[in-house]
Structure 1
Amino acid sequence: MALAQELSVGEVARRSGLAVSTLHFYESKGLIASRRTSGNQRRYMRGVLRRIAVIRIAQRAGIPLEEIRQTFAAIPLDRAPTMREWERAMRAWTAALQQRISDLTDLRDKLFSCIGCGCLSVTDCPLRNGDDRLGAEGSGPRILITAAERRQRRGRQA
């Protein structure tokens, strides 16, 4: 590793906008890698900043860290990925992201038809209670009522 290409943990934290503890966490999960100097200080290759940027964006999109780690497993930690490696890794997320986009669009489109009620257990709630499966349990926000509250209500009705 050329020293000019290496960054200290503090420099990576400053440039990535992450806490040093987050960098240590990412490293413990195998998402990024560093080498240790003779003084036991971490040094990161400059390319780690790109990897961290993708990790942060993937997390914002709702991709779990374990899935990010698995996707990055095919990309060496000690160098920037080739275009082919990068395309192969990103292909893994395409279907999952498209499904999330579809689900969120569907939620957005259906949300306003239910927003005035709030109980989420009306006869025709397409969001959480298709076919009013929860109507047999009683009135009110069935999904939001905890199991303990349900048992308590059943005890009073008996």
Structure 2
Amino acid sequence: MDIAEVARRSGIPASTLRFYEKKGLLRSLSQRGSRRWFAPGILDQLALISLGQAAGLSLDEIRSMFSPDDEPNIDRDLLLAKADEIDARVKRLKAMSDGLRHAAACPAPRHSECPSFKRLLKAASSGAIERRWNRATPKRPAPPAS
């Protein structure tokens, strides 16, 4: 199908399709006149790109998920590492949410009198929260060599 049809069916602008092609994420079959033509599996490729982006994968990481014949070749270790990153982010966000809920419902007359709020402020001023949030997620052990 031509690039206009791919854009229409996928909802992805033709300029983005051309960008993906330039980055090596997609490959057009040919150019007839000024239009690019793509294989029927292009919509599945775009869905995989979209899924990868939603999971926080870089375009380079997503590009590595396609074999030369445009079939998915997904690195399971990469998926596990990304899942670990997401789990760590969820944990950090949950802790922040809990802190905000405590501050909102704290029975102390003023937040400056709340021990929990004081600890949170001290951690924020020392950079402990930011360091804890930016700490690298431990890597999973490498699978045994076969």
TM-score between the two structures when normalised by the length of structure 2: 0.65
Q: 1:110·1:127 contact (CA, 8 Å) conserved in 2?
A: no
With a CA cutoff of 8 Å and minimum separation of 6, indicate the structure with the bigger relative contact order: 2
Match of 2:121 in 1: 122
Structure 2: distance between partners of 1:93 and 1:69 = 13
Match of 1:111 in 2: 96
Of 89, 98, 105, 2:74 maps to: 89
C-alpha displacement at 1:129, in angstroms?
5.2
C-alpha displacement at 1:25, in angstroms?
0.4
Structure 1: which 5+ runs fail to align?
A: 1-6, 131-158
TM-score between the two structures when normalised by the length of structure 1: 0.61
Map residues 9-88 of structure 1 onto 2, 5 A cutoff.
Answer: 9-72=3-66, 74-77=67-70, 81=71, 86=72, 88=73
CA-to-aligned-CA distance 1:104-124 (integer Å, 9 cap, x gap): 221132113433489x97224
Structure 1: distance between partners of 2:44 and 2:6 = 11
Structure 2: which 5+ runs fail to align?
A: 104-110, 112-116, 133-146
Structure 2: distance between partners of 1:129 and 1:104 = 13
Identity of aligned residues (%): 30
Alignment: residue pair count: 115
Structure 2: distance between partners of 1:52 and 1:99 = 24
Quote the RMSD (CA, aligned, Å).
2.8
Q: 2:123·2:129 contact (CA, 8 Å) conserved in 1?
A: no
